[in-house]
Amino acid sequence: LQFSQVREDPLIDAGVVRRSPGPDRHVMLVASAGCTALSLLTESTVRTIEAVDINPTQLALCRLKAAAVACLESPDLLAFLGAVPGAPLDHWPHVARELPAADRALWENHRDWLAMGVLRAGNYERLFAVWRCFLHQFVAAEGLCRDLFASPGLTAQATTFERFNQTYWPVGFTLAFHADFLNAMFGPKATQHAEGPYDRYFEGVFRHAITAVPVRDNYFLSQLLLDAYLPDEPDGLPPYLQPRHLNTVRRGLERIRWRQGTFPAVLGEREGPPLAMVQLSNILDWCTADEGEVIAAALIPHLLPGARLLVRQLNNTSGLPQRLNERLQWDAEADRTLQAAERSFFYNRVAAPAVLA
């Protein structure tokens, strides 16, 4: 289990969907930890969502979250996932009844993941837990991190950041984002396009998120600094976990198909209606140029004219596959706006080109 939370802002995806050809929309995206697929159910014009992932354990997590949404009311849902303090295993028997037998067996074998709150169980979340432990021990105690989220504006945020121990601040990134650690977790392919070392890259994006943009509704940042969402802020939870959306998301669950495989494999056997939006997460960061071209070739026949592609890149400034590039209309200004609005602040690029007719 690599990712137990999606570190991509679903409000960006929702905005891009609204700019895609409608009125009824069919969408394909990377499943990862399922947060974006589930959150897009709040968009009533999205008729179907095909959520693709090569990793079956990620899809088991997605189905677990969907089952929890189906059967638990809001406080129990948050407690089961570990979003608020509670006893996750108390709710497991209810969720288990909603799952296919193979998934039940997988989660029974990983009761430790459930017990810790499954939102903490991914390897990436554990990496951030290591970073956060160092942060609280040497850079900024938990109370100081809480002060940051109580800051009334950017000046106060910058002042709070000055109280972080600046001698130790860079060291946490050096330790947690060491190349050996990242390679052990994701393999060398995931870092093949790195523009520079990840420790300094992450140090820069964290500094920006803490000092240069509002933190108050940034649940991505609070999760990293405090191991907690911001349930008292209007957008302090992923949409699929917000009580006001729970019934809508629950009613929409049948609109999602969780599909295991690579994009080319899933697209190769797909017979569904043309797609209005395809979100590729940052999988192109993980692909060689040739693999990117294979994904592009598989995608093109399934895209509506005017369809939106949504791509993110992390520490990677290389271009998109040539085959796709030549069929896309770019709007650099709009993409800069998207990147600036992306509360999960990890990406050097967030872009939503339109497919030419």
Residues 199-238 interacting with ligand SAM (rule: CB under 6 A): none
Indicate the residue among 7 and 193 with the shorter CB distance to ligand SAM: 7
Task: Give the Cα separation of 249 and 41 in Å (integer).
Answer: 5
Residues 115-174 interacting with ligand SAM (rule: CB under 6 A): none
Cβ pair 199, 215 in contact under 8 A: no
Site track for ligand SAM across 268-297, x = CB under 6 A: -------------xxx--x-----------
Cβ 357 to ligand SAM shortest distance, Å: 27
Cβ 110 to ligand SAM shortest distance, Å: 17
Cβ pair 77, 291 in contact under 8 A: no
Indicate the residue among 106 and 140 with the shorter CB distance to ligand SAM: 106
Task: Give the Cα separation of 284 and 82 in Å (integer).
Answer: 30
Q: Is 260 in the site for ligand SAM (CB under 6 A)?
A: no
Cβ pair 75, 258 in contact under 8 A: no
Cβ 94 to ligand SAM shortest distance, Å: 26
Length in residues, the chain: 357
Q: What is the DSSP letter of 5?
A: S
**125: helix, coil or strand?**
helix
Helix axes 219-226, 123-134, angle to 10 degrees: 60
Assigned token pair, 272: 């569904």
Among the listed ranges 17-25, 46-54, 198-206, 318-326, the one in contact with ligand SAM (CB under 6 A) is 46-54
- Answer for which of 164, 220, 263, 345 binds ligand SAM (CB under 6 A) is 263
Cβ 152 to ligand SAM shortest distance, Å: 30
What sign does the dihedral 296-301-302-306 (CA atoms) show? positive
**Which residues of the chain form contacts with ligand SAM (CB under 6 A)?**
2-3, 6-8, 30, 32-33, 52-55, 58, 262-263, 281-283, 286
